[in-house]
Structure 1
Amino acid sequence: MDTLRYTEPEPNSRPISASRSIAYGLERIGLVSLRFPWLVGLATVVLLIAGAFGIARIKVDDSLSQLFRSETPEFRTFEEVTRRFPSNEFDVLIVVEGKDLLVRDSVEKLRDLVTDLQLIEGTRGIISLFSAREPPKGTDLPAPLFPDQLPAGAEYDRLVQRVLNNEIIRGKLLSEDGQLTLIVLALDPDVVASSRLRDVIGEVQKTIDNDLAGSRLTARLSGVPVMQLEIRNAVERDRLLYNAFGFAAGALIAILFFRRLSFMFIGAGPPLIAIVLALGALGWLDFRLNMFLNVMTPLIMVISFSDSMQLTFAARDRLLQGEGRLEAFRNAMLVVGPACVLTHVTAGLSFIALQFSESDLIRTFGEAGLVATLIAMFAVLMLVPLLGVLLVRNEAMFVAEVRGADSALDVLRRFCFWVAARMVSRPGLYSLLGVLVVGGLGLVYANLQPRYRLADQVPDREQAVAASHRLDAKLNGANPIDILIKVPDGKSLYDPETLAVIAEVHATLDKQPGIANVWSLETLRRWLAEKLGKSDVATLKQYVDILPEYLTRRFISAEQDAVLVSGRVPDVDSSQLLPVIEGLDKALDAVRTKHPSYKIAVTGLSAIAARNSALMINKLNRGLTLEFLFVAAFIGLAFRSFVVMLASILPGIFPIVLSGLVLWILGEGLQFASVVALTVSFGLGLSATIHFLNRLRHEERPDEDPAVAVERATVLVGPPLILTSIVLACGLIVTVFSGLPSLRLFGWLSAFAMLAALAADLLILRPTVTFLGRLAQRVGGKPFYR
């Protein structure tokens, strides 16, 4: 067993020529560093400086709609509504709750709070309990529901009853039990789009804390600006966490692995430099951090660390065999380098597969991942030999110190040999079991259902999600659902037919189960008809004109050629919300038929998510299925072997379908984060497969049982594959500390898939390649690589 270490390749396993390299000679760019080390080193320093400036340029994209941003008609309608009726995008929702909410002292504090909130710089209007009015008397304007001087005793009790029964605020701004109220604070759009948002939200929170001090009321903030700020804070915090952990983990494992500071820098230095260069490039290319791009740091570490360690490990073994440092790193590059190129290319193909998504966010993540993968590949190929020739000194002393001190690695070698020996003892049986297991898991995976909730994009340990949940419980929904009505040419806003369309759409939305808090111009019209007994257009127009502009823009466009009817829906899974949206759309067909010249469209982020999330997730999943076959064919083409193509399929699929079983057990279903994680993990998980097959290519002999070559290759590449897979899983699992649910899912699922890929490599690939190798020898009379 002790003889199964890396040795000088025999004639039939020498480093092969560029024409037969699985990377077609691309790995030879790493030899430039051996010939011009100081020039390459200087170029690296310059690029690192440029990368640092690029990182400083990275900004955060905190838009809640970016996941569904696309060129579809539905999204263009949503963008039109956002542009012409921008209220929802700039509303801070203040949820105040308490059993004493309508007690006189509490109402006084609430009114003081509403007054003070309007004085904060950057706000432009507010809607609250105190916006409600008494029924108008004669021609006088209606008086406020809450008088300037609050009554006491029985008169106050009667006021509370009038408040609880007020049609304008009941169920919309005040819960039925009178224990929760909603204050809607409109912010200036320029504030929401700038760095001032943090200061304004902080001032809002400070005002709430001061004005409600001493009361038994609690207040939480929600709404798009608050969610955006929480996303922004979480992304920035996560970036610091991932960067720090990535640097620390890479350095620590490398020094424990190689037990020398110089080899720590050789093994961990290129991945860490690749992180700086890749993030810097993303900054210069104006990529913006979001819930997916924020995981780029650990992904770059995953992409590059395994290959860097394989190269360093191979060069180290050659040094122990007596080669000089130039020769050792040159031969390591020629033997292991092709596999490094191929692993990066397969990872890049996974990111390219994301380009077929309809989501702008996911396509951007794929583009960024492809850029990072290419940078990581060149960083590893160029910097491992560079650092090797610069840092390794006195090879004879190194050999004397290290020889005999590799007890931990020897344990791993023995373990790898033990696994390989058993896997090749009955390759046909184990291959059949692999097919059955993967097939069974595939059936479970095929039955996973798409899942999506808007709250998964927002930090769930902050106040915004908690406040939204209270609105879902008490006011029947926190998320807006809108119906856009476009007035045709030749018709005006106050045309009888236009008002009739608004009334019919309002009634339809109001009757739809699952939708509450319906607001529109019809709300004001009904109130005037009931309280004032007037339904004429002149009176309606008079009251619209006296309302503040920020309020009328919520349901009437500035050009008065479009109106909005809005309701609220709870934040539930899209599969539950879709029947509601489809039922509403179908019910509106009667209005569309009756008034064909009016464009009536159901929109809003909730509607877009309900309609598109399942389709987008299923399309990503189909792309992943096609990627299996495409990448397997690509590997077979690179190795110039049909047998290799077949051998790579099962170990490539196994981590995906096993992860699907875990998702099924946990009841998670397929989410955007999980499909993207599995797509990326498929490409990354093939690293172990490619490195093993590349080594097997060097170890096979013309007249030898393939099982012997499998055992020998396993012992040579197994230890670094095991260690790096564990390190990479740890690098991904750090995302469980993120405040974003989608990133936590992405992290732990990717880490699990990486470990599952290692298990597949040891337990499925070994017997499969042995079985197919023997079959190829019997059929063709020669090793399947030749």
Structure 2
Amino acid sequence: MNQQSLFARLLTYLAFQRSIGFGLENIGLATLRFPRLIALCVAAFTLLCIYQLPKANVDGNLMRIYANSGHYYDAYQRLADTFGTFENDIYVLVHSDQLTDPQILEQVRNLAFDLELNDYAIGTMSPFTLRKPDGSGGSVPAVPEGMTDKNQVSAALADLQQNDPMMRNLITPDLTGVVLIMFPNSEMTRDGGTQGMLASLRQLAAQYQTDDLQIELTGPPIWTSEMLGAAVNDQIRFTVYGFTIGAIIAFFALRSFFGALLVAATPFVALIWSVGTVLMMFGSFSFLTIIVTTLVLVMAFAESMFFIFNWLAHWRDGTDPSDAVDKTLRLVGPATALTTLTTLVAFTSLYFSPGRGVEEFSLAGAVGSAIMFISMMTVLPLLLKAALKLGFKLPKAPSLALNAPIPFAWSVARKLARPVTTLSALAVVLLFVPYFLIEPRFAIEDFMAKNSSAMATAGEIDTGVGGVAPIYIRVPMKGNDPAISDADFKTVRTVHDILENELGPNKVISAASMNNYTQSGFSRAQVLDAVGPFMRRRFVTDDGTQALVTGFMPTILESGRLADIVTSLETQIRAAGIAGAEVGGFRVMTTFATDDIVRSLQVSLAVSVLINIFLIGFAFQSLRIALVSIIPNLFPILGTEAYLWLSGSGLQLTTVIALTIAFGIAVNDTIHFLSHYVHSRRDQRRDHADAVKETLFRIGGAIVATTVILCTGTIIVAFSELPQVALFGTLFVLSLALALIGDLFMLPAILMAGGKFFDPLGRLRVRLADHQPKHVVAIDEM
């Protein structure tokens, strides 16, 4: 009996006696009750986070984003562990119209040797470091030394370019350029050492740069360095601009300088907390988690603006300003808690998608959302109470510009409720078409900084020689012969030809590339010994159990085309009866992993939408509330996906993340609107139409102000040097703008069109604030 009674009481609480914020607003009530203790906790945690700030850094390793993302990530890891890869190599493009001049050629040779002696190099590959068998058991330079005549040089380079498969990828057909490849020491480039390596290489290049000799660097480490620099610059700019713009908008909205400071103070603290917490959790930011700080900043600005907007409204209504803080916290706090929960759901839904980067982003975003809420419940009430003690005066009424759309929105809801509702529902249904048609897309250039000189250099290499985007095929060998047995060589030759048929002639290197030497009478062991131990391991393992075939693709290659290449290769290899061969590479891994991640994120987005709609209905204990929230909250997401489909951008990693998080934030205004509407119906005893009007005029200006702050604070992201980040900002702003239309025009119209259907909302029994509604009926009394 006692157990039944306990269960009944628990069920009664969950169903009726809790607030719509599930009691989380009690954090704010504790702040009002124990201000000194909470202030001490706030100060201590702020100091702890400030202590972390000097450690702030961004990890530029893209592998961190794709780690644990599936089969192709595992294949790439096996490949890198076995052979090493060309993914972290530095490509030096040397161009000269006088390359066949013996003196110019010797300068390039000296550059190649200095590159090999660089402290950061563990090996190099170039026409000057490569050797070929001399026929007597030794080897000689592939590019003869001591040439004194241009014709000699021209003949030697032309012979290598035309007859040596490896040289075709290092010497341009017109004999005006050569490519030198440096293999960095991974131990020295770890933990920020890449910047020192690049500085050393640029200094070396500058020593040889002349009017007759142009030297350009490219390769993944340089691309990543450019991305890292752009990401750090973006974050500094976003933080400064976002904070400044938010404060300026708050100033014009509230028409008070000190009011704007109060709005800006809490986001500032939330930003410090979020940066410090992410650093404590992960040790550094990634290209994804760095976005979280901007999101926390703009979300905190929006919620702070909404809180103060309501506080000042109560003050203007005649409530004592100190009591108005309490009243606002008790009324707005539960709705703010529910909006935080919906944002948490949006972030948490991402956690179950593959890839460490998405997992970290999910955790960082969820923690950032919680931090934002806690700062709202602690820092803001303390600041408002302190401001009143310091003599803060009631500002003028809010700017008329904020309320300008409100009368029009009410006119539409009152006069055109049914047509607007019908059109809204039809629009949402039609927008499902592009939702099902849109496809994932991956392009490496979307991750690179705009106007990247290194990418331009990579394009020149693509045009002139083999390219800098490798694709690998790991081939198991049965003979376990480091010199490659005849049977295994035949297998390598078959795979080599399959890959070359896909990429084109002279775009593949492997042990089979040396066939011209073996046909001249040299043994495979002699040829492999001649290339040196480092390069030898790029062709065959020391134990002779595996061989590697490497192809070079264009740097910029559409993801669909790459996927087709990989599928074709795997099909042909299986048809050739070669078991255990594995296609891999960074581009392969990122293309297929992105596809898997994006499709998983699409599911996460759908799950997030369903859970949040259910959560809203459960929080209010009303199916009608859940139903009325569907159209205004689906419209911005589906509308943004339609934009992606029409623009041909496709679904990318950051775009789905943007959609998921934008949905979680866009729901916030809907919750605040419905919370005020129900409060007006139930506690203020207004009829249905009057409650819609009162809610629209009461908080419409706050909805406009928060959306403006969110959009203007985030639109800065759209100007990022990184295309993925720029697209994130564009989609985020578009989603929020469409959400504003949904909340100001669709939601009131749907409520008005529903008429008597929404009458029961005036009898909801769940708490909106800190008091018990009059209509609560305990379960054991029913």
- Using the size of structure 1 for normalisation, the TM-score is 0.90
1:529-540 equivalence runs, <5 A: 529-530=518-519, 532-534=520-522, 539-540=523-524
What is the aligned partner in structure 2 of residue 14 from structure 1?
none
Does 2:54 correspond to 1:66?
A: no
Aligned match for 1:555, one of 535, 539, 561: 539
Give the SS at the match of 2:140.
coil
Question: CA-to-partner distance for each residue in 1:385-441, whole Å, 9 max, x for gaps?
Answer: 11011112477x824xx3xx32x5344335313312322323222111101112222
Report the secondary structure of 1:59's partner residue. coil
Match of 1:527 among 516, 526, 549: 516
Instruction: Indicate the residue corresponding to 1:233 in structure 2.
Output: 229
Contact kept in structure 2, 1:231 and 1:458, CA below 8 Å: yes
Query: 2:451 matched to which residue of 1?
Result: 461
Q: Is 1:770 equivalent to 2:759 in the alignment?
A: no
Match for residue 626 of structure 2 among 645, 655, 660: 645
Counterpart AA for 2:61:
S
Unmatched tracts of structure 1, length 5 or more: 1-16
Give matches, 1:596-615, under 5 Å.
596=579, 599-615=580-596
Distance 1:253 1:714 in 2: 21
The reply on whether 1:451 has 2:437 as its aligned counterpart is: no
Structure 1 equivalent of residue 108 of structure 2: 110
* Residue in structure 1 matched with residue 393 of structure 2 by the alignment: 398
Q: Kindly provide the CA deviation profile for residues 643-692 of structure 1, in whole angstroms up to 9, marking residues without a partner as x.
A: 11011111111111221232233221111111111111110111111111
Deviations 1:703-761 (A, max 9, x none): 75422211110111111211121111111121233222111111111112111111111
Residue identity matched to 1:65: M
| Change in CA separation of 1:560 and 1:781 when aligned onto 2, cut-off 3 Å | closer
Give the match for residue 601 of structure 2. 620
State the Cα deviation string for residues 155-196 of structure 1 (Å, max 9, x = none).
344334324424234531123333442210111111221322
How far off its partner does 1:329 sit?
0.6
Question: Any residues of structure 2 matched to 1:664-743 within 5 Å, and which?
Answer: 664-700=645-681, 705-743=687-725
Could you tell which deviates more after superposition, 108-117 or 567-576?
108-117
Q: Measured at CA, do residues 279 and 678 of structure 1 come closer, stay the same or move farther in structure 2, by a change above 3 Å?
A: same
AA at the equivalent of 1:639: F
1:26 partner SS: coil
Distance 1:91 1:687 in 2: 47
CA distance in 1, matches of 2:155, 2:479: 49
| Alpha-carbon spacing, 1:623–1:95, altered in 2? closer, same or farther (3 Å) | same
Structure 2 letter corresponding to 1:139: S
User: Per the alignment, in what secondary structure is the counterpart of residue 33 of structure 1?
Assistant: helix
Match of 1:298 in 2: 294
State the one-letter code of the partner of 1:185.
M
Counterparts in 2 of 1:774 and 1:182: CA distance versus 1, 3 Å:
farther
Partners of 1:112 and 1:211 within 8 A in 2: no
Cα distance change of structure 1 residues 609 and 122 upon mapping to structure 2, 3 Å threshold: closer
Indicate if the aligned counterparts of 2:296 and 2:368 stay in contact, CA closer than 8 A: yes
Give the C-alpha shift of residue 132 in structure 1.
4.5
CA distance in 1, matches of 2:410, 2:623: 23
Q: Determine the structure 1 residue equivalent to 2:79.
A: 81
Separation in structure 2 between the aligned mates of residue 157 and residue 93 of structure 1, nearest angstrom: 23
* 1:196-248 Cα distance to aligned partner (Å, 9 max, x none): 22122112112212202222x43332222222322332232223222222332
| Inter-partner Cα distance in structure 1 for 2:22 and 2:41 | 26
Alignment partner of 1:416 out of 384, 406, 429:
406
Amino acid in the other structure paired with 2:666: G
Match of 2:569 among 569, 575, 584: 584
Q: 1:436 aligns with which of 426, 449, 460?
A: 426
1:259-658 alignment runs, 5 A limit:
259-393=255-389, 398-399=393-394, 402=395, 405-406=396-397, 409-487=399-477, 494-513=484-503, 517-524=507-514, 526-530=515-519, 532-534=520-522, 539-570=523-554, 571-591=556-576, 593=577, 596=579, 599-658=580-639
SS of the aligned residue for 1:621 comes to helix
In the superposition, relative to structure 1, how do residues 86 and 634 fare at CA in structure 2: closer, same or farther (>3 Å)? same
Match of 1:755 among 730, 737, 742: 737
How far apart, in 2, do the equivalents of 1:79 and 1:756 lie?
Answer: 43
Q: Does 1:202 align with 2:202?
A: no
Q: Deviations over 1:109-168 (max 9, x none)?
A: 32232122223221122211223456x553163432433323225434433432442423
Distance 1:239-1:547 versus aligned 2 partners, 3 A rule: same
Shift of 1:586: 0.7
Which residue of structure 2 lines up, in the alignment, with residue 12 of structure 1? none
Partner residue of 2:122?
Answer: 124
Task: Report the alpha carbon displacement of residue 35 of structure 1 after superposing the two structures with TM.
Answer: 2.5
In structure 1, give the amino acid aligned to 2:313: D
Shift of 1:70: 1.8
Matched to 1:687, the amino acid is: N
Task: Look up the equivalent residue of 1:327 and give its one-letter code.
Answer: D
Matched AA of 1:358: P
Task: Give unmatched runs, 5+ long, in structure 2.
Answer: 1-14, 766-774, 776-782
Judge conservation of contact 1:647–1:765 (CA < 8 Å) in 2: yes
Judging changes above 3 Å, is the alpha-carbon distance between structure 1 residues 89 and 411 closer, same or farther for their aligned structure 2 residues? closer
Matched AA of 2:418: G
Matches of 1:756 and 1:331, distance apart in 2: 31
Contact 1:230–1:462 (Cα < 8 Å) also in 2: yes
Counterpart-to-counterpart distance in 1, 2:563 and 2:618: 44
Check the 8 A contact 2:402/2:705 in 1, yes or no.
no
CA RMSD of aligned residues (A): 2.5
Identical amino acids, percent of aligned pairs: 24
- CA shift in 2, pair 1:145/1:559, >3 Å: closer
Report the 3-state secondary structure (helix = DSSP H, G, I; strand = E; otherwise coil) of the residue aligned with 2:282: coil
SS at match of 2:309: helix
SS in 1 for 2:590: helix
When residues 220 and 711 of structure 1 are mapped into structure 2, their CA distance, relative to the original with a 3 A threshold, is: farther
Question: How far apart, CA to CA, are the structure 2 residues paired with 1:670 and 1:781?
Answer: 39
Q: How many residues align?
A: 750
Task: Report the 3-state secondary structure (helix = DSSP H, G, I; strand = E; otherwise coil) of the residue aligned with 1:398.
Answer: coil
TM-score by length of 2: 0.90
Alpha-carbon contact 1:674-1:746 (below 8 Å) kept: yes
Q: Which amino acid aligns with 1:501?
A: T
Indicate if the aligned counterparts of 2:432 and 2:638 stay in contact, CA closer than 8 A.
yes
DSSP 3-state at the match of 1:60:
coil
CA distance in structure 2 between the aligned counterparts of 1:613 and 1:164, rounded to whole angstroms: 37
Give the direction of change, closer, same or farther, for the CA distance of 1:104–1:774 in structure 2 (3 Å limit).
Answer: farther
The answer to whether the 8 Å contact 2:144/2:156 transfers is no
Residue-by-residue CA offset, 1:325-368 (whole Å, 9 max, x unaligned): 33111100111111111111111111111112112211211111
Q: Secondary structure at the match of 2:191?
A: coil
43-52 vs 466-475, greater mean Cα deviation: 466-475
Specify the code of the residue in structure 2 equivalent to 1:668.
S
Greater displacement, 197-206 / 220-229: 220-229
Q: Counterparts of 1:620 and 1:660 in 2: how far apart (Å)?
A: 13
Q: Deviations over 1:248-286 (max 9, x none)?
A: 233333333333344233322112111111110111112
Given that 2:718 and 2:730 are in contact with CA atoms closer than 8 Å, whether structure 1 keeps it comes out as: yes
C-alpha change, 1:771 and 1:100, in structure 2 (3 Å) is farther
